[in-house]
Structure formats: C-alpha cells, structure tokens
Amino acid sequence: MDRRPRPPLSRRRMLQASALALPGAWALASCAREQPLGAPAPASSAAGAPASSAAAAPSPSATLQIASPQNPVKWPINPGNEPIASGLEPEANATLRLYNFPDYLDKAVIKDFTKEYSDYNVKVEYSTFNDYSEAMTKIRSGTVPYDVSFLTYTYIAKLVYGDLIRPLNHDYVPNIEDVWTEFQNPWYDLEWQYTVPYVIYTTGIGWRADLISEDIGALANPYDVFWDSAYAGKLAVLDDNREVIGMTILRDGGTDVNTADPAALELARDAMLEMLGMTQPRVTITGYTDIPEGVLSLSQCWSGDMITGQYYMPEGLDSSVLRYWSPPDGRGLINNDFMVVLKGGENPVLAHHFLNYMIGKDVSLKNFSWVGYQPPLRALTPKSMVADGYIPKNLAGAVVQPEWFKVGYPLLELQPQVQAEYDAIWQQFKAGA
C-alpha cells in the first residue's frame, strides 16, 4: 500500500484540464457536420410524425408511413427536391458513381454504357456494399457523392423522408414501357416517382445435388434443413437480418415476416439461436460462388444466385448439379430491387440516362444473362424461360412467376424501433452466443 500523500495539486489539475476540455468540446461542436436531414416540416408528412430536433433524445414516437401491397403509397415530393428539368444534356466528363452489391451488374454492360455515351466522355465507377443497412448508413452520412444506387423498399420511406433520393423526371426514362405494367405503378412507389425496377427474386434454398443426397425440395418442410444437425458445417444463411428472420418465421408456420410482435420475434430469435447450435451455419451472401465451388453444400440464397452460379462451376464439373427451391406455390419470400437517383450525386441527368439505359430491353437481357437475376421485362415470359434456353431445366424453380407477387411475402419497411429489435436479434445471432 502506497501511503505517500497524493499530490494536492491533482484536484486543481483536473479543474485545469476540464477548463481546457470544455472549450475544446465547444470548438468541436461548432465544427460538427450538418447531417443531411431533409427539410423537417414538409418531410414530416412522409414521416408521419414531426422529426425531433437533432440533439433531442431518441423519440420512440417517430413513426414512418409504411408502404405495402395492401397499402400502396404515393410519396410526397419535398420542396427543394423537385425533379430535374426536361431536355438537359448529360453531364460531360463525368464520373457516374454506382453503389451496389458486388457482382450485381454486368461489367460489360457498364462498358457498353460508357461507349454509348462516349460523346460525353463519361466514366463509371462501381462501388459496393455488403447489405442494405450498410448502404443506408453510408448514403445518409453523405460522405460520398454516389449517383445511382440499387436498393429495395425496406428503406424507401426513410430515403424519401431524408431527401436522400431524387424524384425522377419521366421524360428521361421512356424505356419504362419495356417493364411489366405492375412495375410501372408499384405499391411501394405509386406512379414510380422515385424508383425504376431492377430485378425480381425469391428467397429459397440452393444446393449441389452431388453433395446433398436428399431432395430438399421434396421434404415436408424444406426450411428444416437449417435445423438438421446432419448438415452441420455444410450450410450457410444469407448475411441479411430480414431474410433470415423472415425464413425462420416461415419455417415455424408463420406468415407475418414483418411482425412487430415481441413474442413472435422472441420465438424467432430462439429458433435462430437453436439453428446456430444445430448446424453452425456460415453467414454470407457469396452462395453464388460457394455452392458451385463446394465450399458450401447448401445455402439459403436468392433465386438469381444459382442461375449465376452456373458460371462459377469448377472446371470439370457440370452445372446440372445445381438446385434451387422456393415454395412452388409462391408463398415464400419474394421481393424486388430498384434503382434510385441519389440526391447527393453530382450527375443527376446522366443518372437518369443510366436508369433508362438499364431497363431497356436489350441491355436488361444482357445484364440478366450475366447476373442471373431476372428483370421484370415484358420481353421475358417466365413460362417460357426454360424452353427458350434462358434457364436450365435443373434450375426451373429459380424462375420468378408474376402471380407469386400476389401470394408471396415481401419484406416491408419497419418502424425504426421495430427495426432496432430486428437488428438486436441479428447481432445476437451473429455473435454466435
């Protein structure tokens, strides 16, 4: 025990230090970055409740208007965020910044685009995120001027509320005619004010028939494989909290994959933790290469993953061993991604041109043949896609049928506090406790 008296100065020292620290804190506060929050007053019509001032404590009352097939929404257009004027020239010498999942857009299509717009000497830069929440965090931080992003409706109210996306000037996007009519007036964005559809997909199970002897699709409840210890160490689930929680709910006979009910969420969480114990799944979105290469025998995946997986088969192995299952009656997870023009981007006109370019029939088909994800294109009739040779017979289940959108379960946007619950469950799952 050190009995020497402490220097009496220490108290004064501390005061001195805090006297220095406070102005320091003040100086920091004065150079705090303005968060790119949309104009609060009018935006509140989109948000349902007034946005509390930035410094206030988190208000649990913040509610968002949620779009769903039963409750289609026409989003407001906030003052100061009007569409761009018609008839503008695309920005010259621009770098168009795309923000998307990895391997989710054909490089050759990008090359074609720069060629098509070579008069304007444009460059395209492809940056990637691993999941939507990461994308939202980065888009909202406003630190990078991305022009176009590929997102889904789980964030659309926030995107509109925060003025993070631009309303579209339809004059620049005539190719919308090539898209299925229901996607020209989708429930998540009536009159497609902000979005144009990119691809549609179901969530199901992909596997390699030579590594898995069972016919997963023929099981009474195919989702059960994730709780079957016979598959321990061989499988993976998607690195996306909504998809995994949604699948768990469906597996246990539920249908509300957007539930806010704490009891239902707790059940789902317990089931997910049980899954960890039973099969120790990996958590990844790279099933499209892992399954073909045999790193995984089986994985939760999106319908496009197995179609694109054909191109990742190791030499000497035929892609006919790939399988995909999602509920054949369409009562499974079914969603679509869309393209948006981000407000923070520097090239809004070129971004419009890019959207139009992407949904055009020929480009869309070319992109499909590379990414494997099906665009909602009128020229593509799902009934004949196997016969037309777009998709091999063994992967017929990966074709998304239009009528499934009437019975399937989309993953909707959640209220912020419910989303927080989902995130907490996910963190616990990923902690592997």
Partner 1 sequence: MGDRSTRLLWPILGLPAMVWIALFFLVPLYVVLCVAFGTSDPVFRTAIPIWNPLEWQFAQVQVVWERLFGADNFYLPVVLRTIVYVVLAVCGCLLIAFPVAYFTARFAGRFRGLVLALLIAPFIISYMMRMLAWINLLQPDGLVNSIITLGGLLPLEVNWLSGKPYVVVMGLVYGYIPYMLLPLFVALDRISPSLLEAARDLGAGGVSTFRRVILPMSIPGIVAGTLLVSLPMMGDYFTSDMLSKSPKTTMIGNLINLSIVSPGQAGQAGALLILVLLVLLVPMVWYTRSNARAEVRS
Partner 2 sequence: MTVSAAPAEAILDSSRSPRRRALRGTPGAKAYGLATITAVYLLWSLLPVAITVLFSFNEGRSRSTWQGFSLRWYTWDPTGSIINDESLRVALLHTFVLAVLATLITVPLGVLFALALDRWRGRIPAGANFLALITFVIPEIALAIGLLFMVTYLATPFGLGTWAQVIGLVTYQLAYPIVICRARLLTIGAHYEEAARDLGASALGAVRRVILPMLFPAILVSAILVFADVLDDFVLVRYLSSDASTETTSMRIYATARAAPSPALNAMATVILAVSILTIVVGWLLFRRWARRQGEKADMGSLASTL
Residues contributing to the site for partner 2 (CB under 8 A): 28, 31-34, 95, 97, 99, 102-103, 107-108, 125-128, 141, 143-144, 146, 284, 286, 288-290, 312, 314-315
Shortest distance, position 125 Cβ to partner 2, whole Å: 5
Nearest of 338, 386, 391 to residue 179 by alpha carbon: 338
Burial of residue 331 (CB within 10 Å: 0-12, 13-18, 19+) is middle
Closest distance between partner 2 and the C-beta of residue 145, in Å? 9
User: How far apart are CB 141 and partner 1 at their closest, in Å?
Assistant: 7
How far apart CA 225 and CA 210 sit, in angstroms, is 16
What tokens appear for 93 in the block? 């010498």
Binding string, 231-270, against partner 1, x = CB under 8 A?
Answer: --xx-x----------------------------------
Instruction: Give the residue, chosen from 1, 9, 29, 85, that forms a contact with partner 1 under the rule CB under 8 A.
Output: 29
The answer to whether 420 contacts partner 1 (rule: CB under 8 A) is yes
Q: Which is nearer to partner 1, 5 or 314 (CB)?
A: 314
Cβ 27 to partner 2, closest distance in Å? 10
**Site mask for partner 1 (CB under 8 A), range 265-294, x = bound:** -----------x---xxxxx--------xx
Q: Rounded CA gap, 165 and 265, in Å?
A: 31
The one of partner 1, partner 2, none whose footprint includes residue 242, by CB under 5 to 8 A per kind, is none
The answer to the question of residue 411 lying near partner 1 (CB under 8 A) is no
Residue 248 contacts which entry, partner 1, partner 2, none (Cβ below 5-8 A, type-dependent):
none
The interface mask with partner 1, positions 124-163, x = CB under 8 A, is: ------x--xx-xxx-xx----------------x--xx-
- Indicate the residue among 205 and 285 with the shorter CB distance to partner 2: 285
Q: Whose CA is closest to 241, among 133, 160, 144, 318?
A: 133
Residue among 2 and 315 whose Cβ is closer to partner 2: 315
Asked whether position 12 contacts partner 1 by CB under 8 A, the answer is no
Total residues contacting partner 1 by CB under 8 A comes to 61
14 makes contact with partner 1 (CB under 8 A): no
Q: Which does 34 bind (CB under 5 to 8 A by kind): partner 2, partner 1, none?
A: partner 2
Cα separation, 155 vs 188, whole angstroms: 10
Query: What's 366-409 look like in SS3?
Result: HHHHHHCCECCECCCCHHHCCCCCCCCHHHHHHCCCCCHHHHCE
CA torsion 149-150-154-160 (nearest 10°) is: 30
Does 418 bind partner 1 (CB under 8 A)? Our answer is no
SS3 28: helix
158 binds, among partner 1, partner 2, none (CB under 5 to 8 A by kind): partner 1
In angstroms and rounded to an integer, the radius of gyration of the C-alpha atoms of the chain is 24
Per partner kind, with CB cut-offs from 5 to 8 A, the member of partner 2, partner 1, none near residue 343 is none
Which among partner 1, partner 2, none contacts residue 407 (Cβ within 5 to 8 A by kind)? none
- CB 161 to partner 1: min, Å: 6
Q: What does the alpha-carbon distance between residue 285 and residue 283 come to, in Å, rounded to a whole number? A: 7
List, as one string, the DSSP characters of 91-103. Answer: PTT-EEEEEE-TT
Residue 360, amino acid: G
Which entry of partner 1, partner 2, none binds 143, CB below 5 to 8 A by partner kind?
Answer: partner 2
Question: Are residues 149 and 125 in contact, defined by beta-carbon separation less than 8 angstroms?
Answer: no
Residue 48 CB, nearest distance to partner 1 (Å)? 10
Cβ nearer to partner 2, comparing 123 with 406: 123
126, two tokens:
């492809």
Please give the Cα distance from 188 to 238 (Å, whole number): 24
Contacts 24+ apart (CB under 8 A), 275-280: 275/226, 275/227, 275/237, 275/248, 276/429, 276/432, 276/433, 278/226, 278/227, 278/228, 278/229, 278/232, 279/226, 279/227, 279/228, 279/229, 279/231, 279/232, 279/233, 279/234, 279/235, 280/232, 280/233
Long-range contact pairs involving 113-119 (C-beta distance under 8 Å, separation at least 24):
113/354, 113/357, 116/357, 117/90, 117/350, 117/353
| Site residues, partner 1 (CB under 8 A) | 18, 21-22, 24-26, 28-29, 32, 35, 37, 47, 51-52, 54-62, 64, 130, 133-134, 136-138, 140-141, 158, 161-162, 233-234, 236, 276, 280-284, 293-296, 314, 416, 419-420, 423, 426-433
